[in-house]
């Protein structure tokens, strides 16, 4: 089996004693020191934690013991994933200085495997945004062009992995927040089936949409990490674990596979994105798969359904940040209500306030039936439409984003068009399906284009194998 794995190549160097884990970790830390000022991928560097773990890995190698699948490999975590004793602030002023007293389940699993944590990565505030620019630290930049965004909300992790400042990253995806930055930065990003990976310790944006997943340099690494992270967890009532292991599925032929191409996903694509997707389709045909044209008209409702429901959940989830229990607190106030108002006004950024207000509005008396209830009914219809689509195909091929990475500051100029960049990613979160973004070429400006492979519930193995077969055919 041909490997493009960065994780395996790092471990090969370590076990061959070409370098020690401490030396390797220090190389990554030096790279962060040199590049991060321009990229702004990291908001917190955990050098001491990383080097302590690296020393233990070196001791294990010296004893002649075999390494675990990801042991000794330097990585990064998104700033909304809880790490005990390390600041986890969601890139928001309101949570500055907050250090959780427990680890998120995903970090606990990785830590048990000997993962080397280099630091916490930049993100849109509370994962609300498509550019990473709503972060209180300013946005992460795209390594392919520093004048463009890395994408959001997991922009810091995507920027770090793409620029070689981490072997892989762990992010979260509520409406495309892993896949969109992966597409913009030219890497692989997997959003698992809802419930496959525990959300325990993930600071919530919209609980029925949120899912944690990996950002990697190849599909093989994404499969490896998914298999490690997709464990059923008693701490998360929605957790079910994986239905199928992904790594063993990476050698299956695509001969005779049916790939659904829904016309609605291809409306309004930029020319360079369309051309790259057309080329990707031809690659799959050469691999023996059959492209099946189909229609999912309900997709046109996905964007309003997503923003109504996700913002409604956000307005509830973010009500806990009031200055009383943790996080920042207003210094001057006349009473409890005044303190809460001043704390939230100063602590939340503009985009977060917009979404809280929208969510509060659609849940309020007189508007609940008109907006929230109707959106829930449409969510059910969208789910039925995808179920019907999978009777005609094994997986879907779609663009990840209708365009490539846009310039810095674009979101402040055209907020509506920025929201529309989520049009291809949000249907998956509404339904809870797995999807992976895979690099499939570049546009006229040499910026990466991502294709999205969407699987049926629990079929990460199918889409990751399809991604791997594409890489075999196209990577040199």
Q: Output b/e per residue, 215-227; b: 16+ Cβ within 10 A.
A: bbbbbbbbbbbbb
Q: With both helix axes pointing from N to C terminus, report the angle between 374-389 and 302-317 in degrees, rounded to the nearest 10.
A: 130
Catalytic residue selected from 35, 78, 108, 191? 78
Place of tokens 């998104």: 78
Catalytic residue selected from 131, 177, 315, 437? 177
φ/ψ of 118, rounded to 5, equals -80, -30
Catalytic residue selected from 5, 153, 198, 437? 153
C-alpha 224: how far from its chain's center?
Answer: 16
For the question of residue 20 being annotated catalytic, the response is no
DSSP characters over 43-95 = EEE-HHHHHHHHHHHHHHHHTTPPPPTTTT-EEEEETTB-BTTB---TT-GGG
For the question of residue 319 being annotated catalytic, the response is no
Contact present, 354 and 134 (Cβ < 8 Å):
no
Beta bridge partners of 47: none
For the question of residue 177 being annotated catalytic, the response is yes
Rounded-to-integer distance, Cα 23 and Cα 6, Å: 17
DSSP element (H, E) containing 157: helix 155-162
- Judged by DSSP in three states, 466 sits in helix
Beta bridge partners of 260: 292, 396
Active site residues: 78, 153, 177
């Amino acid at each position: 089996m041909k490997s493009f794995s960065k994780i395996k190549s790092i471990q090969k160097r370590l076990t061959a004693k070409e370098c020690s884990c401490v030396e390797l970790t220090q190389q990554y830390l030096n790279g962060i020191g040199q590049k991060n000022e321009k990229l702004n991928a990291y908001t917190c560097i955990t050098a001491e934690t990383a080097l302590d773990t690296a020393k233990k890995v070196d001791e294990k190698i010296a004893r002649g013991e075999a390494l675990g699948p990801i042991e000794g490999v330097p990585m990064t975590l998104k700033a909304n994933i809880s790490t005990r004793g390390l600041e986890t602030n969601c890139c928001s002023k309101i949570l500055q200085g907050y250090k959780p007293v427990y680890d998120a389940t995903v970090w606990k699993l990785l830590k048990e495997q000997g993962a080397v944590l280099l630091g916490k990565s930049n993100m849109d505030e509370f994962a609300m945004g498509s550019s990473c620019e709503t972060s209180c630290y300013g946005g992460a930049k795209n390594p392919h062009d520093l004048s463009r965004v890395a994408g959001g909300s997991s922009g810091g992790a995507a920027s770090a992995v793409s620029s070689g400042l981490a072997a892989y990253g762990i992010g979260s995806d509520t409406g495309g927040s892993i896949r969109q930055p992966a597409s913009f930065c030219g890497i692989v990003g997997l959003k698992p089936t809802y419930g496959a990976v525990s959300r325990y310790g993930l600071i919530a944006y919209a609980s029925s949409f949120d899912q944690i997943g990996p950002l990697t340099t190849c599909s093989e690494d994404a499969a490896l990490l998914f298999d490690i992270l997709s464990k059923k967890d008693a701490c998360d009532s929605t957790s079910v674990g994986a239905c199928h292991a992904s790594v063993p599925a990476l050698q299956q032929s695509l001969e005779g596979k049916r790939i659904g191409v829904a016309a609605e996903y291809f409306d309004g694509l930029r020319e360079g994105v369309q051309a790259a997707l057309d080329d990707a389709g031809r690659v799959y045909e050469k691999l023996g798969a059959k492209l099946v044209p189909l229609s999912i008209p309900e997709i046109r409702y996905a964007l309003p359904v997503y923003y109504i429901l996700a913002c409604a959940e956000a307005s509830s989830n973010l009500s806990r940040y009031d200055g009383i229990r943790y996080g920042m607190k207003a210094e001057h106030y006349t009473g409890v209500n005044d303190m809460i108002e001043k704390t939230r006004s100063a602590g939340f950024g503009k985009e977060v306030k917009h979404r809280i207000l929208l969510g509060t509005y659609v849940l309020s008396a007189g508007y609940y039936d008109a907006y929230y209830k109707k959106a829930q009914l449409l969510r059910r219809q969208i789910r039925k439409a995808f179920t019907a689509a999978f009777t005609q195909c094994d997986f879907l091929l779609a663009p990840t984003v209708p365009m490539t990475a846009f310039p810095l500051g674009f979101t402040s100029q055209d907020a509506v068009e920025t929201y529309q960049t989520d049009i291809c990613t949000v249907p998956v979160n509404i339904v809870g399906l797995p999807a992976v973004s895979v690099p499939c070429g570049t546009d006229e400006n040499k910026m990466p284009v991502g294709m999205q492979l969407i699987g049926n519930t629990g079929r990460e193995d199918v889409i990751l194998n399809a991604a791997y077969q594409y890489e075999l055919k196209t990577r040199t």
